[in-house]
Structures are given as C-alpha cells and as structure tokens.
C-alpha cells in the first residue's frame, strides 16, 4: 500500500516531539495504557487529518467523529487553513460504574499551511459520516500551464 506523507508544517518542534512521544508510548505500552497515562484529566482532542494535492486543488480530510458540523469553524487566511471546534463527551447519568474512558473530548485546533495560492472564493467544505472534507482549489494563475511549441516555417 502506498502512503504519501505530508508533514503538517504548522506544528512546532515541541508539538512534533509530543506527538511522536505519544505514539511511542502507545507502541511500547499498548494503546490503553498509553491513553491512561496521557489522560491525567486533560481535555485534549486532536483530530487526525490528511492533506492531498491534485493538479487543481488541495483536499483536507479531517476525522471528527462525534462532532456536530455546527460546532466546527473553518477559516482560510494568508495561506493557512484553520479548523477549530469542540467535541462533547458525556457519560450517561444513570451509569454507576465506568470501567474505561478512552474517547477524548474538548476543544481542538488544527492549522495547515498550504504551499500555493488558493482561490478562497471557491473553497468547499462537506461533512459526512464523521469526516470533514475541505476542497481548496488552486488559483488559476498559479497552476502550471503547458505551452505548445510551434514549428517554424
């Protein structure tokens, strides 16, 4: 399976280290133990995202399970796409014994810096089955253009 990697250039070195550290803990101790060690009462939800470039646009797909579309804010400014919002999580009131809580909740913020000019008037966002898909068309004048070479007479 081919996987293209895209480095989210909006992460600081400390954030990158933190993400790598969390993955290492999950790998060494198991996801459940790692989640418990990190939980420590913080309300941190960091949605995963993919950025794919095509000839005409960039497509950003963000996993937002359990998040209502009206609780998400998407903005584009100076070549930076920001996605923010909040995921609520409640344990049912009549539940007496909670044995495990792994789903994270709370506010989130992700920012993606895009390397090309975007036609901001044509940005489209669609939310379906817990995935937010944002299509960001490249500006026409910035797209590569093939120039035909004519034969001399």
Condensed to tens digits (0 to 9), the pLDDT of residues 66-118 reads: 899 999 999 999 889 999 999 887 666 666 777 777 778 889 999 999 887 89
- Looking at the structure, do residues 33 and 66 belong to the same domain, yes or no? no
Q: Which residues of 13-51 are buried (b: 16+ CB within 10 A; e: fewer)?
A: eeeeeeeeeeeebbeeeeeeebbeeeeeeeeebebebeb
- Looking at the structure, do residues 109 and 78 belong to the same domain, yes or no? yes
Which one is predicted more confidently, 4 or 139? 139
pLDDT value at residue 20: 75
- Looking at the structure, do residues 81 and 126 belong to the same domain, yes or no? yes
pLDDT value at residue 92: 65
pTM over cut 0.75: no
- Looking at the structure, do residues 107 and 135 belong to the same domain, yes or no? yes
**Residue 66 falls inside a structural domain:** yes
pLDDT for 24 beyond 60: yes
The domain containing residue 116 runs over which residues? Answer: 45-90+100-139
**Residue 127 falls inside a structural domain:** yes
């Amino acid at each position: 399976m081919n996987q293209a990697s895209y480095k989210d250039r909006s992460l600081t070195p400390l954030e990158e280290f933190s993400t790598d550290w969390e993955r290492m803990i999950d790998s060494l101790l198991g996801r459940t133990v790692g989640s418990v060690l990190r939980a420590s009462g913080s309300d941190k939800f960091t949605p995963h995202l993919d950025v794919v470039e095509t000839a005409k646009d960039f497509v950003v797909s963000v996993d937002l399970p359990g998040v209502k579309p009206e609780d998400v804010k998407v903005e584009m400014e100076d070549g930076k796409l920001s996605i923010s919002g909040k995921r609520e999580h409640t344990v049912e009131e009549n539940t007496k014994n909670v044995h495990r809580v792994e789903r994270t909740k709370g506010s989130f913020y992700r920012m993606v810096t895009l390397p090309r000019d975007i036609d901001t008037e044509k940005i489209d966002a669609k939310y379906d089955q817990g995935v937010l898909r944002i299509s960001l068309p490249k500006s026409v004048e910035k797209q590569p253009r093939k120039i035909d070479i004519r034969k001399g007479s």
